[in-house]
Structure 1
Amino acid sequence: MSVSVINNEQERLEILRQYKRLIEVWHTRKNTQDKWLVRKAFRLAADAHKDMRRKSGEPFILHPISVAIIAAKDIGLGRTSIISALLHDTIEDTEMRLEDIGNQFGKEVANIIDGLTKINEISISNSTAQAETIKKLLFTLSDDVRVILIKLADRVHNMRTLESLPRDKQLRVVSETQYIYAPLAFRLGLYAIKSELEELSFKYSQPKLYNEIQGNIQSSEEDRLLSFNVLKKVLTNELKKINCDVDIRLNVKTAYSIWQKMRKQEISFENIYNKYSIDIILNGETTDEKLICWSAYSIITNIYRSNSNRLRDWISTPKANGYEAIHTTIMNPYGKWVDVHIRSKRMDEIANKGYAAYWKYKELGKIDTSLENWLNRTRLLLEENDENTFDFIRDFRSNLFSDEIFVFTPAGKMMNMAAGATVLDFAYAIHTDIGNQCIGANISHRIAPLGYKLSSGDQVEIITSKIQSPSEEWFKYVVTARAKSRITDAIKQARKKYKSDGRKKLSDYFKQLNIEDNKISLNKLKTAINVKSSVNLYYYVAQKMIGLKEIKEVMQPGESRLGWIKNLRIPFTRSKLETNGSEIEQESNNPKPQKNEQYISDFTSLDYIVSDCCNPLPGDNVMGLVFPNEPIQIHQTTCEDAIRLMSQHGKNIVKAKWKQKAGITFLAGINIKAADNQGIMQEIIGVISGEFKINTRSFHLDAHEGIANIDVTIYVSSTSILKKLMAKLKKVSSIIKITRLDKI
């Protein structure tokens, strides 16, 4: 952030206008004392940030005000949260101390702001400040969930103003948002915030594709409004029969959600039928919300034909994030299917404001307990956790996506478990010792193995043995973070007894290879073989799973390996502040780099590898990740592994663009679904090798019930060549569908 005193009268008026807007959108209880405290916090924040500006050039104070507006308006938070939002950057960016805030506004506000403050890079080791800050933030769920809610408001505003940041920092923020914050918003029931975070992430990670889909959405607006207005008129009139206020809204699907459907269903924009939905919000005097909603459903489906396969009853069994509604699909007068969501006013408030609305209605006894059950399980996970930071974030994230089932102990006690939970997950949910000694379970008088997936209603009796102990294979049998953490602990304890023997053998190997026996060599070896802990490394050495040969290959690689890396290096260059000629392809929709950015100019000495998790090709949007003693990894910007790594190692991101070089080809994969006709292989090979002169590495065909499933790996120079090939193959009469494979 830059420093510049606010002396522009127009800026002063804008700051006051935004503060006034904050007071207007603050709808929770606000007496004279509340307003005075918020005004005091605003003045304190304005004074603390008076000499600061954001990257966009606007006064910095507009950011905390905007965060407070989102917290109040979109989440429905009250006085304490608004004060915390206004002051959330003061400890990190100004001379103000946490003690000062506590003295003026109380311990509660100070604790929230402490939870929102980033961890200093200097204070940590074996991790990154980025990852440790995320972990610290997630741990606040066990104390005060408002920290997370304010952080989500902060993230929304940062995403809205992301345009002013350079590309590498954009990718860092986007990856965090995709990997942690959007899923967390969804789990806390903040659907509107989740959708906006996903949409903005898509906009900055895939700008060309985003603009293309957004353009298609806008071009179909006229037809969409015509269809909606016809339905609204009919439904408004018919729903008067249930004697309640009815609000009928048009909900247009986001570009991101449409793109996800296009990818998942492998179809074009034109072939997606549900580009919008209709929300019907009912507000009646009767307390029986379910009766009102089902009455509305009955009226609607009596008028319009419905698809019974698309009926979803989230009223009888709410989602784990507290969401309640009836979902159905009807055919409109123009012969098009339309999704309809029916819910009460209370259900709608929870759907949009999530956790904050949840507690409001819980006090009135009008709430399902599914969200609270998830929070309780999460708090238990946090209290018992002792994993390293990266493993913790990975396991916590997996916990965000799980729905719930309920199972019973032999005594009849009901326990909520994540959907997909196994016998072994259940054993660890009861007690760590029971999990460690589990050999199976008795379910409905049948013996079930460790990996048996439980179903709602199962009554489970765990069978144990004192001679049983966890092994690495057990990770295949569990889905819950708690079970994974307990298995990791047990294996770690069992392997510690091999530490001395393994350490001695490793020292001998280093001595034979004339390698210095120090921490640098040890870390280099662990990184190269992807072993995170020294305990595991010593165990593998002691058990002769890693020997002299393997260590030599890693620590003293031969020329053949170096040559392989050099061949992969040629097509890449990293963006520089100044370039000559047309050597580097420029992207017109990316902001120009700031003058203070640091770049390495000696690219010929750098090693690059094309990551096999996404197999990028020239023409794909790519980025690089650089780690000590490793070649730079090149990933597609949409790669799930890259998103995970960027969310935790943001400072390791480097910008990468393709530099075309004649004669260089890359491995690509395509999957073909075709009628299993005689000669289909010859037709495909004829197009690939004959017409396009493309070399094929492998061709694998499986046929079942007249359908051939064919995986082909080929060498191509760019995505444009691959697209032309796929377009040509689609014209082969026997071919039903063809898609690109990211993982080969």
Structure 2
Amino acid sequence: MSNQSTYNKSGLTLSRFKRLMKGLCANLTADEMQKLKKVVKKAIAAKAYDDNKRIGSIADLTVSTCIILLEELGMKSPSVIALILYRPIVSKTTDIEEVKKLFGKDVADIVTGLIKVNSLEATQSAMASDNYIKLLISLAEDMRVILIKIASRLYEIRCAERYSEQYRMRLAMEVSYLYTPLAHKLGLYNIKTEMEDLYLKYTDKEAYNYIKEKISESKAARDRYIDEFIAPIDEKLKETGVKYDIKGRVKSISSINNKLKKQKVDFESIYDLFAIRVILDSPLDKEKAECWQVYSIVTDLYTPNPKRLKDWLSIPKSNGYESLHITVMGPQSRWVEVQIRTRRMDEIAERGLAAHWKYKGVKSQSRMDDWLTNLREMLENKDIESDEKLENFKLDLYDDEIYVFTPKGDLHKLPNGATILDFAFSIHSRVGSTCVSGKVNGRNVSIRHKLKNGDQIEIITSPNQSPKRDWLNFVVTSKARNKIRQSLKEEANKQVEIAKEQFKRRVKNRKIEISEGTLMRLIKKMGFKTITDFYIKIAEESLDVNSVIDQYLELERKETEIHEKHETVSADKFVPLNIETEKDPVHSEELVIDQNLTGVDYKLAKCCNPIYGDEIFGFISSQGIKIHRRNCPNANDMLSRFPYRMIPARWSGKSGSTYTVTLRIIGNDDIGIINNLTSIIAKENGISMRSISIDSNDGLFHGNMSVTLNNTDMLNGLIKKLRAVKGVKDVSRLN
């Protein structure tokens, strides 16, 4: 590992190599270091860490990921050794048995897990839902494999600007869809936040840069306010004699962006741009008492909002997060969030699950193991569709928790919004399936009743009860949804078998020979997506069997006539009937779909109306390929739920089409301002006005103006000129 020249050839800087060596020396024994050097030297000689096909260096990725594991996650030697040995194993300069012999079964198991995960990611269809299921199952085998992959993806997305546009977008989607929610679940909040910010940077650069500039502009005023807020707290804390740090921190760019979208306000209207954090150096046995002491000091100085108290001291989150959050009214009548925690709690908050190996006796590890076990059971359930599995996976990752109790006082953690029925299924699937109602704090409630923190719940069951399809409309836990779907499917299968027998008997009675192919075409023509749906309708008696047989005979007669009519036509001239062919939409040569495909049918999505020059992506929908802007209001939802349907797309050549764009204009309701706006548009070459609508209220006008133009350069130039008109306050593009 001392072969400096080899590493430099791989694009690895010497400073990072030294950082890695320092971290290894602090975590490995002298014997482990010698063994590791021997294996790596052999791998370097065989060029195991070189890969000309890859964007960037394998050595660079390996070393940088190891540094993240050691410095940012505080991981111990087995994980780091396993990552370093992954390349020698793949390049066959050593094998698993040798690794097991030199470093033990623990390291060998992690390497095996990495090989399984990386082999899935290497396939061309890595974003396909079925492949993602396999990937998640492999990840769920060992928590440390998840942490290594998170560290690896964190490094890659930090360096994403040096990658190709196609790879960068694929990486951003993968990070957003898989690794960001995993980081959230494992309590790696710093990493989760950084990944969210970088995703925004690469998918909506305009929004990212706008917020970044605004944060920078408001820094001086914000720092003055934080100092003013902290000063009296600091003075009171010094009197107590407790050891502490107190600081203010700005909230992340992505969270501010979410607030702007959710609250539909401008940047200046967001009051909670920052939070104050008090970190105590408390002994383990005094942690809670000293945190509540600080709480008392803060709430004596500033009026608290009781609705926004979050007590994760008494009952930590399932990922081990412990902290006390309060929101108080600060100077200038502004709400300020204050977070109170100890140094140990802060390290767990920063490093998440990885920090638990440092602190013995913390129970979060077993809770996470339980989550992994439940995750594997759900993912391996063949009765659940792939898309549903991925939805359930996301649901489990991003839930906010509430804490409820059984009549005996046993604690249950459920997602916020959970119902009586969710609670029943959390106890046992049989209890959930037969649940008819419940009692909350002694009061009778229905199975739809939403639970609150601290509720004491009793479940009432009946042997005559069974799962209903409408239950899926109000349960929120993946366990409840999975069990309900499983029961419904089992019941549906029984009904389908009965319906099949009924159909066969009617066909036999009418002395008809059924062609399976013709029957399948009829079922499709009738609008059924699956054969099961068809037979369920028969079982429910909402579809008459005799009517179906009559339709079958009619279809068979038509197909026979068509066959006779075309049987003498040559194959190259034959065109099947009833097949609609759709012409290319707008100038498909202007777009390159996926890697190098041109002339592919697509449609421009109406939700965001992309025009030539916008940053775009393709999305495979039931109506074909739709082209969306990267900052489309629906993009996050589509890409987080169905990343495997996303395909890269870019504009090519020169724009030959015209596109319609609607502009939202706000200004003073002055005489002549509309004429000034329309005259500017009239003078612009290649730009035409299609429509204009104006409303005025309290001296302001709000107008929507639709124009046709060729590309974003023309659009940006027009917006700049319209904003310069006297009396115009804002001009923005509507989605």
TM-score for both structures, normalised by structure 1: 0.73
Q: Residues of 1 paired with 2:731 and 2:468: CA distance? A: 43
* Displacement after TM superposition at 1:179 (Å): 1.9
1:637 aligned residue (618, 630, 636): 630
- The residue that corresponds to 2:346 in the other structure is 348
State the match for 1:494 in structure 2.
491
SS for the counterpart of 2:247 is strand
More displaced 10-residue stretch of structure 1: 244-253 or 340-349: 244-253
User: Aligned to 1:562, what secondary structure does the other structure show?
Assistant: coil
Which of the numbers 286, 296, 313 marks the counterpart of 1:315?
A: 313
Range moving further from structure 2, 497-506 or 616-625: 497-506
Residue 467 of structure 2 corresponds to residue 455 of structure 1: no
Partner of 2:644: 648
Q: Which amino acid aligns with 1:634?
A: I
What is the match of residue 105 of structure 1?
103
| 1:423 and 2:410 are equivalent in the alignment | no
> What is the deviation of 1:399?
0.6
Deviations 1:647-706 (A, max 9, x none): 3356x444458986666548x899x9xxxxxxxxxxx9xx99xx9976699x9xxxxxxx
Give the count of matched residue pairs: 660
1:262 corresponds, among 252, 260, 283, to 260
2:55 corresponds to 1:52: no
Question: Could you tell me which residue of structure 1 aligns to residue 433 of structure 2?
Answer: 436
Note closer, same or farther for the CA distance 1:61–1:120 as it changes in structure 2 (3 Å cut): closer
Instruction: Write the distance in 2 (CA, Å) between the matches of 1:151 and 1:122.
Output: 11
Pairing of 1:248-397 with structure 2 (within 5 A):
248-285=246-283, 287-302=285-300, 310-329=308-327, 338-361=336-359, 363=360, 365=361, 367=362, 369=363, 372-373=366-367, 375-383=369-377, 385-386=380-381, 387-397=384-394
By how many angstroms is 1:571 displaced? 7.6
Look up the equivalent residue of 1:487 and give its one-letter code.
I
Structure 1: unaligned runs, 5 residues or longer: 577-596, 673-683, 700-711
For residue 203 of structure 1, report the CA deviation from its aligned partner.
1.1
Gaps of 5+ in 2: 508-512, 559-575, 667-673, 682-687, 695-702
Q: What per-residue deviation string (whole Å, max 9, x for no partner) do you get for residues 237-287 of structure 1?
A: 543223233223342333222211211221222322333333221113573
Q: CA deviation at 1:610?
A: 3.9
**Distance of 1:311 and 1:529 partners within structure 2:** 52
Moved more, 67-76 or 303-312: 303-312
Relative distance call for 1:571 and 1:133 in structure 2 (3 A) is closer
C-alpha separation in 2, matches of 1:207 and 1:375: 38
Distance (whole Å) between structure 1 residues aligned to residue 654 and residue 534 of structure 2: 39
AA matched with 2:629: Q
Aligned to 2:590: 573
- Indicate whether 1:478 and 2:475 are aligned: yes
Q: Deviations 1:168-203 (Å, cap 9, x if unpaired)?
A: 222221112112211211121111111111111111
Higher relative contact order (CA 8 A, sep 6+): 1
Instruction: List per-residue Cα deviations over 1:499-543 (Å, max 9, x = no partner).
Output: 794999998585389x7x9xxxx9xx79x9895x76457656887
How far apart, CA to CA, are the structure 2 residues paired with 1:89 and 1:130? Answer: 26
CA distance in 2, matches of 1:123, 1:221: 44
Per the TM alignment, residue 150 of structure 1 is displaced from its structure 2 partner at its CA by: 1.1
Question: How far did residue 25 of structure 1 move?
Answer: 4.1
The answer to whether the 8 Å contact 1:626/1:632 transfers is: yes
Give the 3 Å change call, closer, same or farther, for CA 30–109 of structure 1 in structure 2. Answer: closer
The AA in structure 2 aligned to 1:404 is E
Q: Where does residue 181 of structure 1 map in the other structure? A: 179
C-alpha distance in structure 1 between counterparts of 2:143 and 2:158, whole Å: 23
Which of 182, 200, 212 is 2:210 aligned to? Answer: 212
Tell me the residue number matched to 1:588.
none
Tell me the residue number matched to 2:518. Answer: 511
How far is 1:355 from its partner?
A: 0.6
- SS in structure 1 at match of 2:201: helix
- Partners of 1:658 and 1:460 lie apart in 2 by 67
The residue that corresponds to 1:402 in the other structure is 399
Does the CA-based 8 Å contact 2:48-2:87 persist in structure 1?
A: no
Counterparts in 2 of 1:651-730, with a 5 A limit? 652-655=647-650, 665=660
Amino acid across the alignment from 2:171: V
What secondary structure does 2:279 align onto? strand
CA distance in 1, matches of 2:210, 2:264: 17
Alpha-carbon shift at residue 459 of structure 1 (Å): 1.7
SS of the counterpart of 1:415? strand
Deviation track 1:405-432 (CA, whole Å, cap 9, x = no partner) reads: 3444466544333222223323333333
Percent identity over paired residues: 29
* Contact 2:435/2:460, CA 8 A, preserved across alignment: yes
Out of 247-256 and 259-268, give the one that drifted further: 247-256
SS of residue paired to 1:287: helix
Q: 1:677: which partner in 2?
A: none
Contact 2:435 2:461 in 1 (8 A): yes
In 2: Cα distance, 1:157 partner to 1:436 partner: 46
Q: For residues 17 and 529 of structure 1, do their structure 2 counterparts lie closer, same or farther at Cα, with a shift above 3 Å needed?
A: farther
Is the 2:200–2:254 contact (alpha carbons within 8 Å) kept by the matching residues of 1?
yes
For 2:322 and 2:514, the matched residues in 1 are separated by 61
Contact 1:248–1:281 (8 Å) recurs in 2: yes
Distance 1:450 1:241, change over 3 A: same
- Tell me the equivalent position of 1:246: 244
Secondary structure, counterpart of 1:461 in structure 2: strand
SS of 1:288 mapped into structure 2: helix
Q: Measure how far apart 1:152 and its partner are.
A: 0.8
2:22 to 21, 24, 41: 24
Structure 2 residue aligned with 1:705 = none
* Structure 1 contact 38–79 (Cα < 8 Å) conserved: no
Structure 2 CA distance for aligned equivalents of residues 430 and 100 of structure 1: 45
CA 1:255–1:57 in 2, change beyond 3 Å: closer, same or farther? same
Does structure 1 retain, via aligned residues, the 8 Å contact 2:11–2:57?
A: no
Q: Which protein is bigger by CA-based radius of gyration?
A: 2
**Contact residue 610 and residue 616 of structure 2 kept, 8 A:** yes
Distance (Å, rounded) in 1 between the aligned partners of 2:314 and 2:25: 30
Per-residue deviation, 1:562: 3.2
| Aligned 8 A contact 2:401 2:416 in 1 | yes
Distance 2:278 2:216 in 1: 23
Query: 1:483: Cα distance to partner?
Result: 1.7
Kindly state the Cα deviation for residue 345 of structure 1 after the two structures are TM-superposed. Answer: 0.5
Question: Is the CA contact (8 Å cut-off) linking 2:43 and 2:93 kept in structure 1?
Answer: no
Specify the alignment match of 1:625 in structure 2: 619
Distance 1:9 1:380 in 2: 42
**Alpha-carbon distance in structure 2 between the residues aligned to 1:381 and 1:336:** 42
Task: For 1:286 and 1:96, locate their aligned partners in 2 and report how far apart those are by CA, in whole Å.
Answer: 45
245-254 or 33-42, which deviates more:
33-42
Deviates more, 1:449-458 or 1:156-165: 449-458
* 1:371 CA displacement: 7.2
The SS at the match of 2:238 is helix
Hey, what's the Cα distance between the residues in 2 that align with 1:256 and 1:738? 24
SS in 2 for 1:318: coil
Larger mean Cα displacement after TM superposition, 214-223 or 115-124 = 115-124
